[in-house]
């Protein structure tokens, strides 16, 4: 089945046309500067790639997500730049949705009731949900007869038990506002943990820690193939230090800084999401490549920022091993996890008490590889792998499953 996977941001729309029969990405691309009003240089832009053969970039006005979707469809069906003959060959659309709130965890077919419920999720993810809705409405306008499915970043974590998802605040706030741990990066944790289970040759009885380390980072404990805990919480702000997000800090720091700096709640939110993490500590950059370069040049704050992240991930691996009563495998994935061998080394150093031993030479060479690579030594009790994530594949398969069931009904 040809599934168009859509990831709509506030001014962007990332897409992939994925064929679930052949596992091939037929085309992919990115629309940027959507809705920026036609100011010079930012009137809308599409980067479009087909099967490694076509690679083009065009400036095209994109006043809204519906226009951007129309342009994507035009590109996909273009006689020269396309890969399908007409729009009917797009058999389904799968949307990546950051937060399903208390309404959704499983992927769901879009209808009016689903859209109304997603609108109620705006409070949970005010930056992400409105653009998701624009993307859904844009696709509904351009492809009214094509089934649309929502796949939630929170979905994989639905199996987390109560003691891991209820916060120790008055219970009534869980009931009143649904404040609980939801967890994010679910499609990534699902994909890499399933790949790891294939490598281990079993799902039942497996105990895996998946470390998704990118601009946003989260760690998950996956037991018997199911998520049982994760570091992100009510929002993607909790957990380990990230590119610009603070991760978990003493909650008293929040009110302390607000008082001292005269910050409004909105300003504090922006501060914790945009000015902390790797960027805040290093005062250099949120990008780990810049930090590794600065470390080589002897910058101590850059080293500290990366050491904090490594130390926190190490602690989560230990904590989740305790939570699962053991550990079979650790997986590193996403931009930093897949490409930065130095942080993998910092994390895995002195972990032999847990049975983790990595081969530093193999680890060092593991960069930009398309497939899973084992970086643990032959005698390491715990397998350590680098597995490139593939969130689009999970979205495409979930979408195809739901649409196939619809056809059977």
Query: Applying CB under 6 A, what is the total number of residues that bind ligand AMP?
Result: 12
Cβ distance to ligand AMP smaller for residue 147 or 247: 247
Dihedral (Cα; 119, 125, 128, 131), 10-degree rounding: 20
* Interaction of residue 287 with ligand AMP, rule CB under 6 A: yes
Q: How far is the CB of 368 from ligand AMP (least distance, A)?
A: 6
Type and span of the H or E element at 349: none
What burial letters (b/e) apply to 372-403, b meaning 16+ CB within 10 Å?
Answer: bbbbbeeebebbbbbbbbbbbbbbbbbbbebb
Which residues, at least 6 apart from 305, have a Cβ–Cβ distance to it below 8 Å?
A: 241, 277, 278, 281, 282, 284, 291
* Interaction of residue 340 with ligand AMP, rule CB under 6 A: yes
* Interaction of residue 215 with ligand AMP, rule CB under 6 A: yes
Cβ distance to ligand AMP smaller for residue 321 or 390: 390
Backbone angles phi, psi at 181, to 5 degrees: -75, 125
Rounded CA-CA distance 19/135 in Å is: 21
Cβ distance to ligand AMP smaller for residue 58 or 289: 289
* Interaction of residue 138 with ligand AMP, rule CB under 6 A: no
Q: Which of 44, 78, 70, 48 is nearest to 135 (CA)?
A: 70
- Of 120, 202, 289, 349, the residue at the interface with ligand AMP (CB under 6 A) is 289
* Interaction of residue 183 with ligand AMP, rule CB under 6 A: no
Instruction: Please answer whether residues 150 and 110 qualify as being in contact, where contact means their C-beta atoms are separated by less than 8 angstroms.
Output: yes
- Of 7, 206, 288, 399, the residue at the interface with ligand AMP (CB under 6 A) is 288
Rounded CA-CA distance 35/54 in Å is: 26
Dihedral (Cα; 246, 248, 250, 256), 10-degree rounding: 30
Q: Which of 52, 331, 82 is nearest to 72 (CA)?
A: 82
Known catalytic residue: 153?
yes
Q: Using DSSP, how many helices (H) and how many strands (E) does the chain show? A: 15, 14
How many Å is the Cα radius of gyration of the chain? 22
Cβ distance to ligand AMP smaller for residue 4 or 306: 306
Instruction: Please answer whether residues 379 and 372 qualify as being in contact, where contact means their C-beta atoms are separated by less than 8 angstroms.
Output: no
Q: How far is the CB of 149 from ligand AMP (least distance, A)?
A: 23
* Interaction of residue 9 with ligand AMP, rule CB under 6 A: no
Segment near ligand AMP (CB under 6 A), from 123-131, 253-261, 328-336, 353-361?
Answer: 328-336
Q: How far is the CB of 75 from ligand AMP (least distance, A)?
A: 23
- Of 336, 354, 382, 396, the residue at the interface with ligand AMP (CB under 6 A) is 336
* Interaction of residue 66 with ligand AMP, rule CB under 6 A: no
Cβ distance to ligand AMP smaller for residue 82 or 214: 214
Residue nearest to ligand AMP (CB): 335
Cβ distance to ligand AMP smaller for residue 19 or 392: 392
The residues in 364-393 that bind ligand AMP, with binding defined as CB under 6 A, are 368
> What letter does residue 269 receive in the DSSP assignment?
H
Q: How far is the CB of 199 from ligand AMP (least distance, A)?
A: 22
* Terminal-residue alpha carbon distance, the chain: 17
Q: Out of 153, 229, 328, 398, pick the active-site residue.
A: 153
Rounded CA-CA distance 146/350 in Å is: 53
Binding mask 232-261 for ligand AMP (x = CB under 6 A): -----------x------------------
- Of 335, 347, 395, 396, the residue at the interface with ligand AMP (CB under 6 A) is 335
Segment near ligand AMP (CB under 6 A), from 62-70, 189-197, 320-328, 333-341?
Answer: 333-341
Residues lying near ligand AMP in the complex (CB under 6 A): 214-215, 243, 287-289, 334-336, 339-340, 368
Write out the catalytic residue numbers: 153
């Amino acid at each position: 089945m040809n599934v168009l996977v859509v990831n709509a941001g506030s001014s962007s729309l990332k897409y992939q046309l994925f064929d679930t029969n052949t596992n091939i990405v037929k085309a992919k691309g990115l629309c940027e500067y959507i809705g920026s009003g036609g100011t010079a240089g930012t009137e809308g832009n599409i980067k479009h790639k087909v099967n490694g053969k076509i690679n083009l970039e065009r400036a095209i006005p994109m006043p809204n997500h519906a226009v951007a979707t129309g342009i994507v469809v035009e590109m996909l069906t273009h006689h020269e730049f396309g890969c399908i003959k007409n729009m009917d060959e797009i058999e389904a659309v799968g949307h990546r949705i950051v937060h399903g709130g208390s309404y959704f965890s499983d992927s769901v077919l879009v209808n009016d009731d689903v859209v109304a419920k997603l609108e109620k999720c705006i409070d949970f993810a005010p930056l992400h949900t409105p653009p998701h809705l624009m993307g859904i409405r844009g696709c509904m306008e351009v492809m009214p007869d094509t089934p649309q499915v929502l796949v939630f970043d929170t979905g994989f974590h639905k199996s987390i038990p109560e003691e891991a998802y209820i916060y120790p605040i008055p219970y009534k706030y869980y009931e009143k506002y649904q404040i609980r741990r939801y967890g994010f990066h679910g499609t990534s944790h699902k994909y890499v943990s399933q790949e790891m289970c294939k490598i281990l040759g079993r799902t039942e009885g497996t105990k895996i820690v998946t470390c998704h380390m990118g601009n946003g980072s989260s760690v998950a404990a996956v037991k018997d193939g199911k998520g049982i805990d994760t570091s992100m919480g009510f929002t993607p702000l909790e957990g380990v230090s990230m590119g610009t997000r603070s991760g978990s800090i003493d909650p008293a720091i929040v009110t302390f800084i607000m008082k001292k700096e005269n910050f409004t709640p909105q300003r504090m939110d922006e501060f914790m999401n945009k000015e902390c993490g790797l960027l805040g500590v290093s005062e250099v950059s949120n990008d780990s490549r810049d930090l590794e370069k600065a470390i080589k040049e002897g910058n101590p704050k850059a080293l500290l920022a990366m050491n904090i992240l490594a130390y926190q991930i190490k602690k989560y691996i230990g904590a989740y091993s305790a939570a699962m009563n053991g550990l079979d495998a650790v997986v590193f994935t996403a931009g930093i996890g897949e490409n930065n061998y130095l942080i993998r080394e910092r994390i895995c150093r002195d972990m032999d008490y847990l049975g983790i031993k990595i081969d530093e030479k193999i680890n060092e060479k593991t960069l930009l590889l398309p497939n899973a690579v084992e970086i643990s030594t032959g005698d390491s009790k715990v397998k350590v792998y680098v597995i490139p994530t593939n969130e689009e594949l999970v979205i495409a398969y979930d979408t195809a499953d739901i649409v196939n069931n619809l056809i059977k009904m």
